[in-house]
């Protein structure tokens, strides 16, 4: 038996709570993992709070991330005792996820836990931090260098934004953080932000082309914020878009792209190939300051996850939340 957060739903009512489950109930897969830590992402919060159709089948154990140790394996790459991490692949949406003490998954979905990271640190990073690394990699692949100019990070006090600031500053970039939480200025400066922009300056409709301010952008917000960020990106600059906290719409014109040669890179973390995942985790292992990671990380117990999800959606959570299962 093992404990798990279980979402159940009838035609009209969704319930969420900790349940005792039998290992025989786990879905199909060729590797069983004893989970040590999970985490709470924005997508997990949407699923738990029933705010978006994230979950595709019920009952569902949410949690798009976990880190733990292989208990049993029929996959050629993995043996009992291997330390592993999982991000995405539809786990917590179509396949039982990480907010539990055990999981059975496909071995192809697993990534080896970097030697320098504990399972708790891996979940302090989680999909949010791994996505931030993919965004940084997209800007690097574009050729962005620190001497090209400032980099804007939107949704800066959230999980993606916090890790993006820490990574970019460690790589030598001058980072400007966009946030609506004035009280988080000291926190953002401690992560490495050189400047702060009020998100209200980006969140309203703006002109198709604006003053060129940014060599690059990491955007976790979408909607008008993304449109304005593109309109403010300098000639030949790049924007990495990975989120939709403000909305899924993109009320922009083609002007930044055809008049300034701005590149918009869409960043997907869920189905990213193994090569990209391994590269992202290597970047995090090498450049993420673990002291800064500790400062952006809080912790909750499994039973506290539903309330934490509510706070996350309300914008009351700073940085990352590890779930001790």
Please tell me whether residues 97 and 148 are part of one structural domain: no
Picking from 189, 262, 180, the residue whose alpha carbon sits closest to that of residue 221 is: 180
Please tell me whether residues 43 and 152 are part of one structural domain: no
For residue 151, give its domain range: 127-266
* Nearest 10 degrees: Cα torsion 291, 281, 138, 87: -110
Rounded CA separation 141/34 (Å): 36
Residue 32 lies in a domain: yes
Phi, psi of 126 (to 5 degrees): 60, -170
Residue 274 lies in a domain: no
Q: How many CA atoms lie within 13 A of 284 on its CB side?
A: 32
Q: What is the pTM of this model?
A: 0.92
Question: Which pLDDT score is estimated for 182?
Answer: 79
Please tell me whether residues 147 and 256 are part of one structural domain: yes
Picking from 230, 217, 224, the residue whose alpha carbon sits closest to that of residue 175 is: 217
Which among 227, 250, 266 is the end of a domain?
Answer: 266
Residue 58 lies in a domain: yes
CA distances from 222 to 22, 156, 188, 196, 242 (A): 41, 13, 21, 19, 8
Question: Which pLDDT score is estimated for 295?
Answer: 86
CB 218 within 8 A of CB 151: yes
| DSSP for residue 77 | T
Question: Which pLDDT score is estimated for 322?
Answer: 96
Residue 120 lies in a domain: no
Residue with tokens 């069983």: 32
| DSSP for residue 262 | -
Rounded CA separation 280/111 (Å): 11
Question: Which pLDDT score is estimated for 141?
Answer: 97
Handedness of CA 139, 140, 142, 145 (dihedral sign): positive
Please count the residues of the chain: 325
Residue with tokens 């916090």: 162
Picking from 88, 244, 238, the residue whose alpha carbon sits closest to that of residue 149 is: 238
In total, how many domains does the chain have?
2
Please tell me whether residues 139 and 108 are part of one structural domain: no
In order along its 325 residues, the chain shows pLDDT tens digits of: 999 999 999 887 899 999 999 999 999 999 999 999 999 988 999 999 988 889 999 999 999 999 999 999 999 999 999 999 999 999 999 999 999 999 999 999 999 999 999 999 999 999 999 999 999 999 999 999 999 999 999 999 988 999 999 999 999 999 999 998 878 899 999 999 999 999 999 999 999 999 999 999 999 999 999 999 999 999 999 999 999 989 999 999 999 999 999 999 999 999 999 999 999 999 999 999 999 999 889 999 999 999 999 999 988 888 889 999 9
Please tell me whether residues 40 and 80 are part of one structural domain: yes
Rounded CA separation 119/123 (Å): 6
Residue 275 lies in a domain: no
Question: Which pLDDT score is estimated for 250?
Answer: 97
Question: Which pLDDT score is estimated for 317?
Answer: 87
CB 208 within 8 A of CB 252: yes
- 281 SS3 class: helix
Q: Tell me how many degrees the CA angle 173-175-181 measures, rounded to the nearest 5.
A: 160
CA distances from 303 to 3, 307, 323 (A): 10, 9, 9
């Amino acid at each position: 038996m093992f404990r798990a957060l279980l979402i159940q739903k009838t035609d009209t009512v969704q319930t969420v709570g900790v349940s005792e489950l039998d290992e025989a109930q786990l879905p199909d897969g060729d590797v069983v993992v004893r989970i040590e830590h999970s985490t709470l992402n924005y997508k997990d919060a949407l699923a738990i709070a029933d705010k978006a159709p994230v979950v595709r089948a019920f009952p569902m154990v949410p949690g798009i991330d976990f880190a733990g140790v292989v208990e049993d394996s029929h996959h050629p790459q993995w043996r009992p005792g291997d330390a592993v991490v999982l991000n995405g692949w539809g786990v917590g949406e179509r396949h039982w996820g990480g907010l539990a003490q055990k999981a059975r998954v496909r071995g192809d979905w697993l990534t080896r836990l970097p030697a320098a990271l504990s399972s708790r640190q891996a979940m302090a990073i989680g999909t949010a931090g791994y996505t931030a690394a993919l965004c940084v990699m997209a800007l690097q692949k574009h050729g962005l260098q620190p001497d090209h100019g400032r980099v804007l990070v939107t949704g800066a006090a959230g999980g993606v934004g916090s890790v993006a600031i820490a990574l970019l500053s460690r790589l030598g970039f001058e980072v400007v953080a966009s946030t609506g939480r004035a009280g988080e200025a000291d926190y953002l400066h401690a992560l490495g932000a050189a400047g702060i922009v009020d998100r209200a300056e980006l969140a309203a409709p703006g002109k198709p082309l604006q003053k060129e301010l940014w060599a690059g952008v990491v955007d976790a917000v979408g909607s008008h914020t993304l449109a304005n960020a593109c309109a403010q990106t300098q000639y030949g600059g790049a924007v990495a878009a990975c989120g939709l906290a403000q909305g899924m719409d993109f009320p922009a014109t083609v002007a930044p792209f055809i008049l300034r040669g701005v590149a918009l890179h869409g960043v997907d973390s869920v189905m990213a190939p193994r090569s990209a995942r391994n590269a992202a985790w290597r970047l995090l292992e090498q450049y993420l300051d673990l002291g800064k990671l500790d400062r952006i990380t809080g912790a909750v117990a499994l039973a506290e996850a539903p309330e934490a999800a509510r706070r996350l959606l309300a914008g009351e959570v700073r940085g990352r939340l590890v779930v001790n299962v």
